[in-house]
Amino acid sequence: MRRVYFDHSATSRVLPEVFEAMAPFYTERFGNASSLHSFGREARASMEHARKHLAALINADPGEIVFTSGGTEADNLAIKGVAAYKGRAKGHILTTCIEHHAVLESCAHLGRLGFEVTELPISKDGLVDAAEAEAAMRDDTVLVSVMAANNEIGTIQPIMEIGAAARSRGIPFHTDAVQAIGKMDIDVKRDNIDLLSLSAHKFHGPKGIGALYVRKGTKIEPQIHGGGHERGMRSSTENVPGIVGLGKAAEIARRDFVPTTAAMRDLRDRIVKEVPELVPRAYLNGHRTHRLVNNVNFRFDFIEGEALMLQLDMKGVAVSTGSACSTGSLEPSHVLMALGLTHEQAHGNLRLTLGRENTYEDVDHFLAVLPGIVSRLREISPFSEARSMGGEGGSCVQ
Ligand code: PLP
């Protein structure tokens, strides 16, 4: 059976080139980057080489990159690190209601410590309003955190405008770019970004390694104390193989940006166009154009997202759903609810996230199996309206 992976926002395959670059750092070149002998010096040189490649990808200076264990740690460091600078215990933090839990929970933690947190709402197509963000900035705002692109619905936020507004008020601006890297052109200087989180495994690097970009001069308190690694910003012996893998993945993402993003956009647009032609009452979630090149997110009336996902899995197609929370709760995801969907609407959710290795044939396979699965699931739906719909096409995209 053909196996198709359409879940690249969950994680992506380590590219062979990345794996080959990393392998020697587990075996022959295993030195500790802090050691002064040749093994250590070799590890450090490779780490600094990786730092340069990563910095180039986002137009940063290498000295502004702090390696972390992933996107979650980068978000925690940015938010808690800025908020708690020099023992500060209160102030206002501005974020959005559709951030990843790594951001929302970091803010909630600070809320319990005495900070005040404002979560900006989104429009019905998933966009944060830059003017509304600007109006919500206050004299006591210590940080603004708005994601570059959403992990569920792929909506691309106006970070350049929000960053400019924050900059003009002297407020540090953080963006979670975990889903944006490799799919969007990000330039920390042009986009007025002070802090940026990223994670290697979302763009064909290894798991367990990420980074926080910290613009020179940004006041931030380390959150992991110890031997003073990463210029004191993040102690712990560096994950040299991971860092080398991250550097290689960044180099490849930059090198191949134009053809890979064009190919993903083509596949995305084909799915967005053809699904509603093949399946009645299928609606696109998120913005039509301000959207990651690799993100497709639909809701299907009268269907459970989990059932759809499992049936697709049986046909070899790996997708995901935000219909019930990944933590196992029965609540649909906070992002779908923020779009203003009812519980029933949010339950019929399906997310496809494409990768550079997906092909037209992968999409053919998905489009061939989807209508049959949907009509079978609707036949067993408790809604009589669903049972009478049959499987014929009919476009109904919002
Ligand atoms: N931020 C966003 C937008 C994400 O999508 C994810 C992972 O799904 C993270 C942060 C966390 O990244 P990591 O898995 O590297 O901790």
pLDDT at 394 over 80: no
Tell which atom from ligand 1 comes closest to the C-alpha of 147: 3
Rounded to two decimals, the pTM is 0.96
pLDDT of 384 over the 90 cut:
no
Probe target for ligand 1 pocket from 97, 103, 151, with the most ligand atoms within 8 Å of CB: 151
Q: Which ligand 1 atom sits closest to the C-alpha of 151?
A: 5
* Long-range contacts formed by 222-229: CB under 8 A, 24+ apart: 222/77, 222/81, 223/76, 223/77, 223/80, 223/81, 224/77, 227/34, 229/34
Q: How confident is the model at residue 329 (pLDDT cuts 50, 70, 90)?
A: low
Please give the distance, rounded to the nearest whole angstrom, from the Cα atom of residue 209 to the centre of ligand 1: 11
The protein residue with its alpha carbon nearest to ligand 1, atom 8, reads 10
Q: pLDDT digit string (tens) for 244-283?
A: 999 999 999 999 999 999 999 999 999 999 999 999 999 9
Does residue 392 have a pLDDT over 60?
no
Distance 205 CA to ligand 1 centre (A): 13
Name the residue ranges covered by the structural domains of the chain: 4-10+257-389, 16-255
The pLDDT of 89-110, averaged and rounded, is 97
4-10+257-389 topology per CATH: Aspartate Aminotransferase, domain 1 (3.90.1150)
pLDDT band at 390 (very low <50, low <70, confident <90, very high): low
Distance in Å, CA 72 to ligand 1 centroid = 6
Decide if pLDDT at 243 tops 80.
yes
Q: Which atom of ligand 1 is nearest to the CA of 72?
A: 16
Strands (E), 53-200: 65-68, 92-96, 116-120, 141-145, 173-176, 195-199
- 135-182 residue pLDDT tens: 999 999 999 999 999 999 999 999 999 999 999 999 999 999 999 999
Report whether 54 contacts 84 (CB < 8 A).
no
Q: Which atom of ligand 1 is nearest to the CA of 11?
A: 8
Place of tokens 């992506």: 12
Q: Of 174, 199, 334, which is best to mutate to test ligand 1, by the most ligand atoms within 8 angstroms of its C-beta?
A: 199
Pocket lining: 72 vs ligand 1, CB cutoff 6 Å: yes
Helices 257-278 and 240-255 pack at an angle, to 10 degrees, of 80
Residue 393, pLDDT > 70, answer no
Cβ of 210 closer than 6 Å to ligand 1, yes or no, is yes
End-to-end CA distance of the chain: 34
Residues classed as catalytic: 325
- Which residue type occupies 4? V
Cβ of residue 356 lying under 6 Å from some atom of ligand 1:
no
Residue 100 in contact with ligand 1 by CB distance below 6 A? yes
Pick the CATH number of 16-255 from 3.60.10.10, 3.40.640.10, 1.10.3720.10, 1.20.1050.10: 3.40.640.10
Q: Note whether 355 and 8 are within 8 A (CB).
A: yes
Q: Provide the 3-class DSSP secondary structure of residue 202.
A: helix
Question: What digits encode the pLDDT tens for the residues 34-53?
Answer: 999 999 999 999 999 999 99
The rounded Å distance from CA 369 to ligand 1 centre is 30
For residue 253, the CA-to-ligand 1 centroid distance in Å is: 18
Instruction: For the chain, give the percent of residues with pLDDT over 70.
Output: 96
Residues 259, 264, 269, 271: is their CA dihedral positive or negative? Answer: positive
Closest CA to 13 of 176, 173, 249: 249
The strand pairing partners of 65, in sequence order, are 213
Q: Is 295 in the pocket of ligand 1 (CB under 6 A)?
A: no
CA-to-CA dists, residue 67 to 46, 51, 177, 242, 250, angstroms: 14, 9, 15, 10, 13
Q: What does the pLDDT read at residue 97?
A: 98
CA atoms within 13 A on the CB side of 35: 12
Q: Which residues pair with 116 in a beta bridge?
A: 92
Angstrom distance (rounded) from CA 291 to CA 6: 16
d(CA 226, CA 324): 39
